[in-house]
Amino acid sequence: MLQKEKRINIQNYQRVEIKFTPKIPHLKKIKDKSKINVRYSLISPFSFAHIYWDPKEYELVYEVEEPYLNEKEIIYKNQIISAMRDMINFDTVIEKNQETLLDYIDKRFKILAIELGIDLPYESYQKIFYYLARDFIGFNETDPLLRDYFVEDIECNGINTPIYIVHRLYRNIKTNIKFKNSNKLSNFVEKLAQRCGKYISYSNPILDGSLPDGSRVNATYTKDITSRGPTFTIRKFTKTPWTPTQLISLKTLSAEMLAYLWILIQYKMNLLITGGTSSGKTTLLNAIVFFIPPEARVVSIEDTRELNLPRENWLPSIVRNATGIEKAGEVNLFTLLKSSFRQNPDYVIVGEVRGKETYVLFQGMASGHSSLSTMHADSVDTVIKRLETPPIELSPTLLNILDCVCIMTHAIVNKQETRKLKEIAEIVNINSNGIALTNTPFKWNPRDDQFYFKKNSKIFEKISQRYGLRLEELELEFKKRVRLIYALYKNKIFKFEEVQDVINQYYKKPEQTLRKFGIM
């Protein structure tokens, strides 16, 4: 009789409601790290991020707060997870929508609880259901980190070491998550490989792939490769990239820089964004593509999906790696780029150039296709050397088709790590010896953390000659756009769709758009 009552009780439990994408909180950048103490939801209503200053460690700490399970609940959770793994093949249902999967887990949880004779109060049922959903649908202990809008990178250096994250506002922070068991970490790396559609093993111990949401994964599998055991680094794909006005709010660049780049993009100049690893190259690229005219056709080519363009007339292409023992089926950047010029693009965007595909990109520039890309280099001289030497080996003549280089950098300002558009350099001429003559209309001064610009622009002169415009017209247009961008920033218009809507309106009805913001 008691067993029957248990069955009725569990079967009648209402399915737990979980929000994997709660509202993004508004966080302020606080200069004094010792004053930081913020808490926000990651997976509502169960998981929270708590970021605070630890006076003992004398550093910021990122704690993932999840439901506490008592000893009995831990035993029940492990029993259910073990039985559920044997009961279902999750690969067959992983493509279904989230609500269907949650229903699927809920039904099997109830069936298994009855079969195993587990009697749970509803509070315990809710907590265990959260862990089941987190582990089967998501990515186990790291799932809350992947759900955090502000987390850019997730870094695990092996067993018994804390996972570190790179936070959009507070940068590198140690978390309270740690893999203490080598087998558990190995299993998790295997799961990452499966979700990437790849295979990792002792004979093939390095993983380089992309998760279904576009996040980039690099992982190792054995102690032969990394002495602390398996490791992984996840570079998150941002579904809602930084808008131009958000970059102003972060003091990454100035309104004048954005207005200048807007004019260059409108008039189809060729741009290269350079900088070190994780210096904000792709972030800047994503922000300035907002300025591409709304009717233009855009083709993008990437190793792993990082670009997110707020437009319909966009053809995104992604590299496909070789599979199988014979390494068949590879489609690389070179192949995709060659193909892209047959797709009638107005703009070609390449996520990053580093090899023979660069020659095709510059040939495309020479044939009139406006192109934007990124490259690892910290100065114009380094860019030129990389382009002229193997494996790229471009001729100085072809290099002259490049109009502008934007150099991103990491910087420490007021003891805070930040990213800056260090300078914008115009390529005036590259002689036969590969020496570049440049003009630098915009520069960031680290001493006073200010952006400076000078009026004379060689590219404005080029646009003037190419399109039959007077320099005075271009300079007046530049000033109007500076004021418009600054007005968007002052009015806190930061959202993806809102910023794009204003830019599109300006292309169609410039005077009306300016009047709307009190500019004329």
Sign of the Cα pseudo-torsion (120, 100, 134, 150, in order): negative
* Domain boundary, last residue among 235, 268, 300: 235
Whether residue 328 has pLDDT greater than 70: no
* Domain boundary, last residue among 448, 468, 488: 468
Whether residue 127 has pLDDT greater than 60: yes
Read off the pLDDT of each residue in 204-209 and give the average, rounded to a whole number: 89
Look at residue 359 and give its three-state secondary structure. Answer: helix
Read off the pLDDT of each residue in 334-346 and give the average, rounded to a whole number: 83
Same domain for 205 and 303: no
- Kindly state whether residue 321 falls inside one of the protein's structural domains: yes
Same domain for 362 and 463: yes
Domain that holds residue 295: 252-468
Same domain for 93 and 26: yes
- Kindly state whether residue 512 falls inside one of the protein's structural domains: no
- Kindly state whether residue 495 falls inside one of the protein's structural domains: no
Under the banding of pLDDT at 50, 70 and 90, the label for residue 2 is very low
Same domain for 428 and 336: yes
Under the banding of pLDDT at 50, 70 and 90, the label for residue 147 is very high
160-184 pLDDT, tens per residue?
999 999 998 888 999 999 999 999 9
Q: Which is higher by pLDDT, 457 or 328?
A: 457
- Kindly state whether residue 494 falls inside one of the protein's structural domains: no
Asked if residue 396 has a cis previous peptide bond (ω within 30° of 0), the answer is no
CATH (domain of 256)? 3.40.50.300
Q: Which is higher by pLDDT, 324 or 74?
A: 74
How many domains does the structure of the chain reveal? Answer: 2
Same domain for 188 and 213: yes
Token pair, residue 296, equals 């233009």
Same domain for 187 and 38: yes
Under the banding of pLDDT at 50, 70 and 90, the label for residue 67 is very high
**CB neighbours of residue 11 within 10 Å:** 12
419-467 pLDDT, tens per residue?
999 999 999 999 888 888 999 999 999 999 999 998 889 999 999 999 9
Contact 16, 131 (CB under 8 A): no
Name the average pLDDT for the chain. 88
d(CA 36, CA 52): 5
Find the angle CA(502)-CA(504)-CA(505) to the nearest 5 degrees.
Answer: 60
Residues 6+ apart with CB under 8 A from 48: 39, 40, 41, 42, 64, 65
Q: How far is CA 511 from CA 480, 497, 514, in A?
A: 10, 21, 5
CATH (domain of 89)? 3.30.450.380
- Kindly state whether residue 82 falls inside one of the protein's structural domains: yes
d(CA 18, CA 44): 6
Closest CA to 159 of 135, 123, 184, 196: 184
Token pair, residue 228, equals 């602390």
Same domain for 84 and 127: yes
Whether residue 43 has pLDDT greater than 60: yes
Under the banding of pLDDT at 50, 70 and 90, the label for residue 124 is very high
b (16+ CB within 10 A) / e for 210-227:
bbeebbbbebbbbeeebe
Strands 47-54 and 271-275: unpaired
Distance of CA 465 to the CA centre of its chain: 38
Residue 3 confidence (pLDDT): 42
- Kindly state whether residue 142 falls inside one of the protein's structural domains: yes
Whether residue 307 has pLDDT greater than 50: yes
Whether residue 340 has pLDDT greater than 90: no
Same domain for 273 and 207: no
74-103 pLDDT, tens per residue?
999 999 988 887 766 555 455 567 888 888
Same domain for 377 and 340: yes
Read off the pLDDT of each residue in 474-498 and give the average, rounded to a whole number: 94
Token pair, residue 253, equals 């660049």
- Kindly state whether residue 278 falls inside one of the protein's structural domains: yes
292-301 pLDDT, tens per residue?
999 999 988 8
Residues 6+ apart with CB under 8 A from 90: 136
pTM: 0.79
Token pair, residue 258, equals 């954005």
Residue 237 confidence (pLDDT): 79
* Identity at 108, one-letter amino acid code: R
Same domain for 206 and 123: yes
- Kindly state whether residue 348 falls inside one of the protein's structural domains: yes
Residue 91 confidence (pLDDT): 53
Same domain for 98 and 13: yes
* Domain boundary, last residue among 180, 205, 235: 235
Same domain for 266 and 224: no
